[in-house]
Amino acid sequence: MTVLIITFSKDNESIPLVIKAIEAKGEKAFRFDTDRFPTEVQLDIYQGDSERIIITDGEQKLDLSEVSSVWYRRMRYGQKIPDTMDKQFRDASIEETRRTVRGMIASIKGFHFDKMSNVDVTNNKQLQLQVAREVGLLTPRTLTTNNPEAVKLFAQECKEQGIITKMLSSFAIYGEKGEEMVVFTNPVTDDDLENLEGLRFCPMTFQENVPKALELRTTIVGHRVFTAAVDSQSLEGSAFDWRKEGRALSNAWKPYDLPEDVEKKLLKLMASFGLNYGAIDIIVTPDGRHVFLEVNPVGEFFWMEVFSPHFPISQAIAEILLTTKK
């Protein structure tokens, strides 16, 4: 039994944690770094009277007929293809790389954790909020628009608590030396409301500013639910987005007992999207309401496990990869 883990070479500690858990159960894991294909890793897909798919990475070789399950983590298609290549040819090479890898994944007959099609659908944040409301979860009032007047009207509607703005995609700006500057959730000021011309180049998402007593990260693996809480309001920099002070808060996360009705609704949400895994962000308000923000279908968990013995998430992932049938 072999688990194929599809990621990229600079992925975080979650990969070795799960590999270690798989090997502790006497099984094998094979890591396929998508950024190293096609420059360093070879992929042979034979189709005819018989079918055979072989991944070769140095001295390691895997016949995909041996794969019982696949964990779809992170994709960095063709990242190591030289930047010096003509842009037209490089773009074409990356697209062929992407199609080759995704086609290979789609052809794997074992258990998928999770299916790419389900992950792709779940990544639509507007759909997430719609389904969350349908299963009975509370959600913030939300506006996605390129219309400045609509934003101003929305700000008036939410005048008491104010509004914040966020991106639907993972977005970062890179400096001259390649340093990554992530765009976090930020409050919208009165000055911002008078300077919305940039919306004609890029739509943005606005939400009512939900008051916070705690912020939760609920990680669901199959039917196992792990919830941690942090007081993001304890630091000024994390008031609107705890990730801004992620390092400072790393030891502040504590186990949290999610109300049974909220847990059931989250499991129903996961089932609606056909997901076995999800990292869910929730706000607990001062009056005890649980407000759903989003589910990340391939969201992070390692920081919870590294800093707390209460969250054996890698063990749960290994177990579902080794025991769940297609």
Residue 100 has pLDDT above 80, yes or no: yes
| Window from 43-52, 86-95, 123-132, 235-244 with minimum mean pLDDT | 235-244
DSSP 8-class letter at 65: G
Second-level CATH architecture of 2-113: 3-Layer(aba) Sandwich (3.40)
At residue 249 the predicted structure's pLDDT band, cuts being 50, 70 and 90, is low
Segment 159-175, tens digit of pLDDT: 999 999 988 876 555 55
State the virtual CA torsion across 271, 272, 278, 282 in degrees, nearest 10: -110
Cβ density class 176-208: b for 16+ within 10 Å, e for less: eeeeeeeebbeebeeeeeeebeeeeeeebbbbb
Q: What angle do CA 209, 215, 218 make, to 5 degrees?
A: 125
The residue ranges of every structural domain in the chain are 2-113, 120-124+211-311, 141-208
CATH superfamily of 120-124+211-311: ATP-grasp fold, B domain (3.30.470.20)
> What's the CATH fold of domain 141-208?
Dna Ligase; domain 1 (3.30.1490)
- Which residue is it, tokens 């998928």? 112
At residue 179 the predicted structure's pLDDT band, cuts being 50, 70 and 90, is low
At residue 33 the predicted structure's pLDDT band, cuts being 50, 70 and 90, is very high
Could you tell me if 257 and 264 are in contact, meaning their C-beta atoms sit under 8 angstroms apart? Answer: no
- The predicted model scores a pTM of 0.90
Distance CA 254, CA 304 (A): 9
